[in-house]
Chains A and B, each alone.
Chain A
Amino acid sequence: MTALENPRTTTATERRVRFRGVLRAEAGKTTSLRSLRISMAALPLLIAAGMLLRAWAYAQTAANGPVGVPPAFGWQDVLGIGVHAGELGAVVLAAILAGSEYTARAAVSTYLAVPHRLVVLAAKALVLVAATAVLAAIGLLVGAAVSAPFMAQAHLAQPWSATAGDAASGAVLLVIVAVLTLAVGTLTRSTAAGIAIVLAVLLVGGTVAGLLGAVTGVDLGPFVLTYAAPMLTALHDPAGPGALAGDAVVTALWLAVPAAAAGVALVRRDV
């Protein structure tokens, strides 16, 4: 039954919008949707499963003879497979986070409470960065732990300190992918479009750059996100230390341009 008395006025004392409140609201929204909870659970699972599969493959190869690669390379390979699998999870998580605002026009409720839309976007990005970093780190460390026995079988054991460094690099890479997806999802206002566009960048970006490079005679490889970002996060570019600055600029542009476009669209477009 509906209460017929009037709204109470005692507890809703004078409050104003602060960033910490918006951050709390966005964190609550992220954990209150089943699709996002599933995505968050899937991210570390995908990473760990990818790593385990690659380590198991090394162990199988080693059963027939030496694998022929140094341990550092083998572990980078295992972590790399985990990061690739994690990219899928990070993209889906970020795309759902962005697109959920436009499901049933939920953004109307959001922007009625917080009319400064960039504040909402910043809070959402912060929540996403934190969630992705933590979940990726968990996935990579758990993946390393479950892969270690198989890597030992393949005579590819290495100190944990070396693995941790590569894992941190992988986590940063996944955060970059997640932030890019949030920007694209906000720009397109669509979960599906966010996933499709970012996966296209990740999966066929290098191929397209190669084809264009063949036609124009210009090496476009360093301008591809899937080249620049891993080099930057690993703090190593075969082209030399000076190339890292270029990788930083390329990665920053891949994030800044979609983020700026998303910000402008968010502010200027009607909800």
Chain B
Amino acid sequence: MIEVSHLTKRYGTRTAVDDVSFRIEPGRVTGFLGPNGAGKSTTLRMILGLDRPTSGRATVDGRAYADLAAPIRSVGAMLDGRTVHPGRTAAAHLRSIADTHELPRTRVQEVLELTGLREVARRRVGTFSLGMTQRLGIAAALLGDPRTILLDEPVNGLDPEGVLWIRALTRRMAAEERAVLISSHLMSEVAQTVDQVLVLGAGRVLADAPLHELLTAEAAPLVRLRADDLARLVGPLIAAGGSVSETEPRAADVVGLTAEQVARIAADRGVVLSELTAVERSLEDAYFALTADAVQYRSTAAGDEPRPAQRTKEPRR
């Protein structure tokens, strides 16, 4: 189990991580989400003793990472697949890690086999594709058969088979009562894998809740409607607090009102609805709702869609 308590990291006047506290429990997969610059990687690096916190504490199984007797037996981490010297072979890289804990060489072969790298074990890592490098990072994380797994963007660069494999692997590890933390930007992937969601924004915890709870609580309701006399409805819907966007002639999406509220407004105005659908919100919707105010680097491309700008003031737990 990982326990982070009031962790803070400042670089000069900039605060990268601001009084962050959370627990990563065994037996479940936790998704670690947040926009670029939210402090996710810095938090992971502080947990793993790579960065020194300005204040606060992070422990793994009750101990600071540096105090663990056998770190890779406790935590398997892949922070960035490309933390390998490009001139070293995959097998040599894994052997150098295994040797520190005097693990048998057969274990290196096992993880190479497991990650599908057996055939390229003697190739230099510098010749690897992104997906192969990711697999090597995962192999290194699994080498010590750890009780806790931290994977930063594990499916980045993986082929569909690899994505499925990671999903199955992490679910199985959680079923084995291991603690699993996955950082990712792929919302659909996270939604299919995690039990718990931890959202960081501008260095602070914006949400720490079970996935289903987050979906129901954070995303504003979305209702899709169709009506011949749509124009008569728009004003009353906006007046009731809804946000209306016309998707096609005589059809619109209404954000912020429930299907029941929309139906009542339509009935009051005598407008006949030919369609009224409550759209199930996604993790992506909840994520954008949470991080709207915490995005540090925002694209200004024309294709960007505006997102609801509501923000949770207190972390959801």
Q: Which of B46-81 contact A (CB under 8 A)?
A: 48-52, 65-66, 68-73, 75, 77, 79-80
Listed residue (A7, A100, A105, A108) with the most chain B CB atoms within 10 angstroms of its CB: A7
Residue A112 CB within 8 A of the other chain: yes
Q: Is the CB of A6 within 8 A of B73?
A: no
Residue B225 CB within 8 A of the other chain: no
Residue A70 CB within 8 A of the other chain: no
Residue B315 CB within 8 A of the other chain: no
Task: Give A1 to B75 CA distance when docked, in angstroms.
Answer: 26
Contacts known (A6-B173, A33-B88, A104-B82); A112 close to B161, Cβ less than 8 A: no
Residue B234 CB within 8 A of the other chain: no
Closest chain A residue to B115 by CB distance? A2
Q: Is the CB of B85 within 8 A of A115?
A: no
Task: Give A33 to B89 CA distance when docked, in angstroms.
Answer: 9
Q: Is the CB of B114 within 8 A of A8?
A: yes
Chain A residues within an 8 Å CB radius of B77: 112
Q: Which of A4-28 contact B (CB under 8 A)?
A: 4-9, 11-12, 14-18, 20-22, 24-25, 28
Listed residue (A17, A24, A107) with the most chain B CB atoms within 10 angstroms of its CB: A17
Residue A114 CB within 8 A of the other chain: yes
Task: Give A157 to B9 CA distance when docked, in angstroms.
Answer: 67
CB distance from B51 to the nearest CB of A (A): 4
Task: Give A21 to B140 CA distance when docked, in angstroms.
Answer: 17
Residue A116 CB within 8 A of the other chain: yes
Q: Is the CB of B97 within 8 A of A2?
A: no
Q: Is the CB of B86 within 8 A of A103?
A: yes
Chain B residues within an 8 Å CB radius of A16: 69-70, 73, 101
Residue B145 CB within 8 A of the other chain: yes
Q: Is the CB of B116 within 8 A of A17?
A: no
CB distance from A102 to the nearest CB of B (A): 10
Q: Is the CB of B66 within 8 A of A32?
A: no
Residue B96 CB within 8 A of the other chain: yes
Chain B residues within an 8 Å CB radius of A7: 110-111, 114, 142, 145, 169, 173
Q: Is the CB of B102 within 8 A of A15?
A: yes
Size category of the B interface is 35 or more
Chain B residues within an 8 Å CB radius of A236: none
Q: Is the CB of A104 within 8 A of B86?
A: yes
Contacts known (A11-B106, A17-B70, A115-B68); A108 close to B79, Cβ less than 8 A: yes
Residue A113 CB within 8 A of the other chain: yes
Task: Give A104 to B79 CA distance when docked, in angstroms.
Answer: 13
Task: Give A63 to B103 CA distance when docked, in angstroms.
Answer: 62
Q: Is the CB of A109 within 8 A of B140?
A: yes
Contacts known (A12-B143, A17-B100, A21-B102); A104 close to B85, Cβ less than 8 A: yes
Residue A35 CB within 8 A of the other chain: yes
Closest chain B residue to A100 by CB distance? B85
Q: How many residues of A contact B (CB 8 A)?
A: 45
Residue B99 CB within 8 A of the other chain: yes
Closest chain A residue to B133 by CB distance? A104
Chain B residues within an 8 Å CB radius of A104: 82-86
CB distance from B233 to the nearest CB of A (A): 51
Bitwise interface map of A from 167 to 182 toward B, beta carbon under 8 Å scored 1, else 0 = 0000000000000000
Listed residue (B82, B99, B161, B164) with the most chain A CB atoms within 10 angstroms of its CB: B99
Bitwise interface map of B from 207 to 238 toward A, beta carbon under 8 Å scored 1, else 0 = 00000000000000000000000000000000
Closest chain A residue to B49 by CB distance? A115
Q: Is the CB of B70 within 8 A of A4?
A: no
Contacts known (A12-B144, A115-B65); A268 close to B173, Cβ less than 8 A: no
CB distance from A81 to the nearest CB of B (A): 32
CB distance from B15 to the nearest CB of A (A): 15
Q: CB < 8 Å: which of A24, A33, A106, A109 contacts B99?
A: A24
CB distance from B217 to the nearest CB of A (A): 34
Q: Is the CB of A3 within 8 A of B173?
A: no
Residue B87 CB within 8 A of the other chain: yes
Chain B residues within an 8 Å CB radius of A24: 99, 102
Residue A239 CB within 8 A of the other chain: no
CB distance from A37 to the nearest CB of B (A): 10
Task: Give A110 to B79 CA distance when docked, in angstroms.
Answer: 13
Q: Is the CB of A115 within 8 A of B52?
A: no
Q: Is the CB of A6 within 8 A of B169?
A: yes
Chain A residues within an 8 Å CB radius of B116: 1-3
Q: Is the CB of A35 within 8 A of B101?
A: no
A-B contact pairs, 19 of them (CB 8 A): A2-B115, A4-B168, A7-B111, A7-B145, A12-B107, A14-B73, A17-B71, A22-B99, A33-B88, A35-B87, A104-B86, A106-B84, A106-B88, A108-B80, A109-B96, A112-B72, A115-B49, A116-B66, A271-B50
Beyond A109-B97, A113-B97, 15 additional pairs, beta carbon < 8 A: A2-B114, A2-B161, A3-B114, A6-B176, A14-B73, A15-B103, A21-B99, A21-B102, A24-B99, A25-B99, A103-B87, A105-B80, A108-B80, A112-B72, A270-B51
4 closest pairs, A vs B, by CB?
A2-B116, A32-B92, A25-B99, A12-B145
